[in-house]
Structure 1
Amino acid sequence: MDPTGPLVSQPIVQIDGVVTGLDFAANGDLFYITQNGGVYRKAALDGELQNDEPPRRLLQLAVAEGTETGLLGLALAGDFADSGHLFLFYTVADEAGAPAGARLERYTLQTNQLTDPVAIVSNLPPTADQQYHYGGALQLGPDGRLYLIFGDRNILPEARDPSTLPGSILRYNVDGSIPADNPFPGSPVYAYGIRNGFGLAWDGAGRLYETENGASCDDELNLILPGADYGWGVHPYDSCPYPDDTGQPPVQQWTQIIAPAGLTFYDGQRLPEFAGDLLLCAFNQSQL
């Protein structure tokens, strides 16, 4: 790639289904998940992904499929190269196939399959209407903790209450226990007043940012502070523009809906002009 030329997109794999998460191993292998429960690896050659190397399915998970349910989050363990551990967040199906809650599980990569599932968090309740606002962004932080966006389940008062899990960013140890330095003792809640978000990323200084989808207006980029309230649920659902007198103010707000999703801070070498910049996907605009 010519670093002085324009940016171009180059397909590396054709995917059936909706990709809901991805992560890279240290050797360049790409791991990704699809909403219908598939977990895949596309192996890298000398650290580079190749067009002619097909992805391999490692697991087909039974999930509760719906508009915003299914397999929603993926994160590789910090010691993945040695342990083979990775984490999945998904909605659990009842006997009728409807969502019966959500679960965070750890799996172990053995050759070309994921084995030994361990449920490390299994007390995440279902959404009220069974289909919407599970969030699902899952990331391993620079502190070695797991961070998960768990949506408001379309019940605004729960996002206002830090004693409940919905409408929050949750923080766990990798075994599912609660870190002793969480802002609310004995609780995984790290920040609350969150509607429904799909992206988490840390900058070079270790500051956490989150993308949040508004209702009919006011998508946000937020700087996440421990124990902070981000204001969702104070005013009615259809309040547009959403009043700015509530909670921690956003770093960036879009009046026009763009549906911000994944984000990352650029720390590569090929595009030095992007060094430290935040790159963000706008789902509704099909733009980066």
Structure 2
Amino acid sequence: MRLGRTRSGGVLASVALTLAATSACSDGSPAPIPRVTQPTDLPSQPTPSASETPEPTTGSDEGGPPKAVGTLVDLLEVPWGVDFLPDGAAVVTERISGRVLQVAADGTLTRLGGISAAVPEGEAGLLGVAVSPDFDSDRTLFFYLTTGTDNRVVSAPLDGTTLGEPTVVLDGIPRGFIHDGGRIAFGPDGHLYVTTGETGDPALAQDPDSLAGKILRITADGEPAPGNPDAASPVWSLGHRNVQGLAWDDEGRLWASEFGDSDFDELNLIEKGANYGWPQVEGVGGGSEFVDPQLVWPVEEASPSGLAYADGHLWMAGLRGQRLWRIKVSGAGRASQPTAYFTEDYGRLRTVVTTPDGQLWLTTSNRDGRGEPTPADDRIIVVRP
């Protein structure tokens, strides 16, 4: 078994952080969290070089390079999940602190509460967040977190700026010090997609009875969604090492970014019931039993995490690679022309999301024990695609 991608980093305390459900002033209004914005601290944008374009594809810089507009908010502690409320503000999770924050489009930061059951160690903790597609009526947020015994999905009501008590939606997902997955998102079909890692035990990815190393598809109540490959199982696809990003294109196709081991990171087009090969295959396998990735990268150029889609392109954030990849998606569902931007400008990049007004928010992950944080980290950077 190869563990070339298991960088130990700093060992984080394995304790559940007890957080207040809300932070409020004496008059009952939410207490803004102090922040420092630095709209002029961003370096000029690099021109991607040919060496930054991974084989076997070649790319061109269609439409000009993206531009970093400024730092929206800084002094965060490992922001991990980001999703938008109907009013345009975002809900942001912090992996280590367990805090749940609201970030407005102007950078105003408000603490909504926290998830006290989250246990932050290694790559675990409070991870993904998804806003209910029926939020206007049900006021519900969904979270993926690691507890002392498992990974699980919970829901919690949001009453104004007060996060309510979580309710378990799906539990029993294997947990690990590494490879916990954690990205959750509602698809165009209204169902919740959940990425899980194989927790450092590669065999779990091929075990149909394990929820580890999979992409799951469930209802908002945690039941297997109608139309799953097995009506009794939440598993949508299998053979994954550690999927960290999900995005749907204009045609409703699901894409996923995935950590490889020692050789190749992957961008996969996800198909119902398909097997993506781990641990038998890393990268392109060429056989009929497994689905090959559409693109691969040398591990030092990616370690892909967040994934977003905007205007015919996927945007993929790189941790070890410390860059943002733009990838063209054709109408036929082919990914090509990957081009790198912001290489080593902001350190480790965890999450990229498309905002309601068509910009990108890009989060850094330099305080996760594996980066070299600046005094401003971690940050949310606004990018004009």
Q: TM-score range by the shorter chain?
A: 0.7 to 0.9
1:31 corresponds to 2:88: no
Match of residue 287, structure 1, among 323, 336, 357: 323
SS state of the match for residue 280, structure 1?
strand
Aligned partner of 2:256 in structure 1 is: 210
1:65 corresponds to 2:120: yes
Deviation string, structure 1 residues 38-62 (Cα, Å, up to 9, x no partner): 110023xxxxx114x2x11111222
Aligned partner of 1:11 in structure 2 is: 71
1:174 corresponds to 2:220: yes
1:157 corresponds to 2:211: no
Deviation for aligned residue 1:163:
2.4
Match of residue 174, structure 2, among 110, 116, 125: 125
Aligned partner of 1:102 in structure 2 is: 151
Label 1:28 to 1:165 Cα distance change in 2 as closer, same or farther (>3 A).
same
Cα distance in 2 for partners of 1:113, 1:71 equals 18
Aligned partner of 1:254 in structure 2 is: 297
Cα distance in 1 for partners of 2:237, 2:218 equals 13
1:116 corresponds to 2:165: yes
Label 1:287 to 1:255 Cα distance change in 2 as closer, same or farther (>3 A).
closer
Aligned partner of 1:271 in structure 2 is: none
Deviation for aligned residue 1:9:
3.6
SS state of the match for residue 210, structure 2?
coil
Aligned partner of 2:307 in structure 1 is: 263
Aligned partner of 1:96 in structure 2 is: none
Deviation for aligned residue 1:126:
2.7
SS state of the match for residue 8, structure 1?
strand
Cα distance in 1 for partners of 2:261, 2:69 equals 30
SS state of the match for residue 73, structure 2?
coil
Deviation for aligned residue 1:285:
2.6
Cα distance in 2 for partners of 1:283, 1:116 equals 32
Deviation string, structure 1 residues 164-219 (Cα, Å, up to 9, x no partner): 21110011001111123101220001000000011000011110000000011210
Label 1:122 to 1:205 Cα distance change in 2 as closer, same or farther (>3 A).
same
Cα distance in 1 for partners of 2:103, 2:255 equals 28
Query: Match for 1:139: what amino acid?
Result: A
SS state of the match for residue 147, structure 2?
strand
Aligned partner of 2:103 in structure 1 is: 42
Deviation string, structure 1 residues 120-139 (Cα, Å, up to 9, x no partner): 11222333xxx111110111
Structure 1 alignment gaps of length 5 or more: 44-48, 94-99, 267-274
Cα distance in 2 for partners of 1:223, 1:5 equals 25
Cα distance in 2 for partners of 1:148, 1:15 equals 28
Cα distance in 2 for partners of 1:74, 1:15 equals 20
Comparing 190-199 with 252-261, which one deviates more in the overlay?
A: 252-261
SS state of the match for residue 12, structure 1?
strand
Query: Match for 2:201: what amino acid?
Result: I
Cα distance in 2 for partners of 1:208, 1:6 equals 23
Greater relative contact order structure (CA < 8 Å, 6+ sep)? 2
Contact 1:107-1:114 within 8 A present in 2 as well: yes
Query: Match for 1:60: what amino acid?
Result: G
Label 1:179 to 1:152 Cα distance change in 2 as closer, same or farther (>3 A).
same
Contact 1:159-1:194 within 8 A present in 2 as well: yes
Cα distance in 2 for partners of 1:6, 1:182 equals 38
Structure 2 alignment gaps of length 5 or more: 1-62, 325-385
Contact 1:160-1:234 within 8 A present in 2 as well: no
